[in-house]
Amino acid sequence: MGVKFFGQFLLERRLITSNQLVEAVEFQQAQNLKLGDYAVKKGYLTKEQSAQINRLQQQKDLKFGQAAMDLSLLTAKQVDELLLMQQNDHIYLGDAVVLKGFASRAAVDEALKAFKEDQKIYEIQGGIPVPSELQLTDTVRVFIDMTQKMLLRMGSIETKITGNEWITGSVMPPGNASLIRFEGGIKCAYIVGLPETVTHKLGEKLLGKFYDPKDPAVRQDAVQEFCNIVTGNVVARLAQMGVRSDILPPETLSGPVSLGTGRALKYVAATPDGQGVFIALIL
Amino acid sequence: MGKRVLLVDDSVTTAKQLESIIVGLSGFEIVGHAKNGAEAVKMYKSLTPDIVCMDIVMPLMDGLQATRAILQLDQNAKVVMISSLGGVGDKVVEALKVGAKDVIAKPFEPEKIRQTLQSL
């Protein structure tokens, strides 16, 4: 079990069908206007100005309100007002399911309570240090926390974060390593390097008698799939936080990854027997 | 004759996990393993499986594109998406719109795989 979407939870409980889920989501999307739509409705922006702001948003990876203020097309007060309007009008998926008549309010509320309990284990734990100058603190915590959670969930491997540091020049993770690139709302690359003992433990847990520790291709594949599962669940968690992103297929790392003029944030997740799982984010 | 299943995943690890579950499931057999969406479409044409277990993130052609292509070949095709993105709302909805029968998130419970295949 990984991070879930509430709609899926409703499907699993057979509260709604897949056709009803699609209909409810489309209804929800039609009802929940974007900030730009509110601004046009209110007369603060023209459609062309809203499009201009969208272009800047995409170029510089900004929220709509910030991009609008940067272009001096909206004031901070107007952005706050529009955000409040958006918040007040927002309908959740559960609301859409009820409004469409697919399930009762009581049934949806009960399912939501069970969903929150089910997903409690994926709340970000506190105590993960993040450099103070970094703006993406919550995002970084999601990556590190999800790595630890998946080591535990998939390999029964407990770890503790022992610190972080910036790396420049190049990054060369030890052990069996894989890299996955993110696109969309988050542009970064995630690298994980597992020492041999951790790789074996993970491989045995995943594959049982099918795991061949002597075959390097099998070991590498297990790490790549681990990397894929961590990052897929990061995408899901970030989506719940309002950040849309996507991942590319995992890459094998057989040598150092050049950082050019950029840098990577490195963490080590230590196992009780002193092995170090290497985690790096190229931001 | 049992239900014939085509596995589509660029990860050998996941393919082996699914294999170990399906081999133990009465009435099902695995007929092939494709490592990307393009291979999946070719293998669907040649093998005509009853069920396809399809990953999403793969090189060359992703699982959503492959599912679209397979359903254009055969509108009765039964495709189950099994993906690390299976918990992402947008992807779940896109998969269902494309015609997938179900979406299972990784890491998955073996029982979820069994129940889903048996329900198809």
Shortest Cα distance, chain A CAs vs residue B50, angstroms = 20
Strands B51-54 and A189-194, sheet pairing: unpaired
Is the distance from CB of B91 to CB of B85 less than 8 angstroms? yes
ipTM associated with this complex: 0.95
Is the distance from CB of A147 to CB of A141 less than 8 angstroms? no
Shortest Cα distance, chain B CAs vs residue A112, angstroms = 15
Domain range enclosing B91 = 3-119
- Whether A184 has a pLDDT exceeding 90, the answer reads no
How would you class A88 by CB atoms within 10 Å of its CB: exposed for 0-12, middle for 13-18, buried for 19 or more? exposed
Shortest Cα distance, chain A CAs vs residue B96, angstroms = 7
Lowest mean pLDDT among A143-147, A161-165, A191-195: A161-165
Hey, are the CB atoms on A232 and B96 less than 8 Å from each other? Answer: no
Question: What is the number of other CB atoms lying within 10 angstroms of the CB of residue A213?
Answer: 13
CATH 3.40.1550.10 fits A125-282, yes or no: yes
Domain containing B78 — which CATH number?
3.40.50.2300
Q: In the structure, what pLDDT confidence band is assigned to residue A132 with cuts at 50, 70 and 90?
A: confident
- For chains A and B, what is the number of CB pairs under 8 angstroms? 108
- Segment B20-71, tens digit of pLDDT: 999 999 999 999 999 999 999 999 999 999 999 999 999 999 999 999 999 9
Residue bearing tokens 């179900």:
B102
- Nearest one of A148, A275, A253 to A199, comparing CA atoms: A275
- Segment A237-261, tens digit of pLDDT: 999 888 889 999 999 988 899 999 9
pLDDT of residue A186: 86
Distance CA A179, CA A193 (A): 9
- Segment B83-117, tens digit of pLDDT: 999 999 999 999 999 999 999 999 999 999 999 99
Element at B3 (helix H, strand E): strand B3-8
Structure tokens at A36: 């730009």
Hey, are the CB atoms on A154 and B107 less than 8 Å from each other? Answer: yes
Q: How many domains does chain B have?
A: 1
Is the distance from CB of B109 to CB of A118 less than 8 angstroms? no
Q: What is the CA radius of gyration of chain A?
A: 22
Q: In the structure, what pLDDT confidence band is assigned to residue A268 with cuts at 50, 70 and 90?
A: very high
Quick one: three-class SS letters along chain A? CCCCCHHHHHHHCCCCCHHHHHHHHHHHHHHCCCHHHHHHHHCCCCHHHHHHHHHHHHHHCCCHHHHHHHCCCCCHHHHHHHHHHHHHHCCCHHHHHHHCCCCCHHHHHHHHHHHHHHCHHHCCCCCCCCCCCCCCHHHHHHHHHHHHHHHHHHHCCCCEEEEEEEEEEEECCCCEEEEEEEEECCCCEEEEEECHHHHHHHHHHHHHHHCCCCCHHHHHHHHHHHHHHHHHHHHHHHHHCCCCEEECCCEECCCCEEEEEEEEEEEEEECCCCCEEEEEEEC
Q: Could you state, in order of their start, the residue ranges of all structural domains in chain A?
A: 6-120, 125-282
- Whether A59 has a pLDDT exceeding 90, the answer reads no
Q: Where are the alpha helices (DSSP H) in B1-120?
A: 12-23, 37-47, 63-73, 89-98, 110-119
pTM of the model: 0.90
Give chain A's mean pLDDT: 92
Could you say which residues from 3 to 22 on chain B have a Cβ atom under 8 Å away from some Cβ of chain A? 10-14, 16-17, 19-20
Residue B59 contacts A where some CB pair is shorter than 8 Å: yes
Hey, are the CB atoms on A7 and B92 less than 8 Å from each other? Answer: yes
Q: Which residue of B has its CA nearest to A7?
A: B89
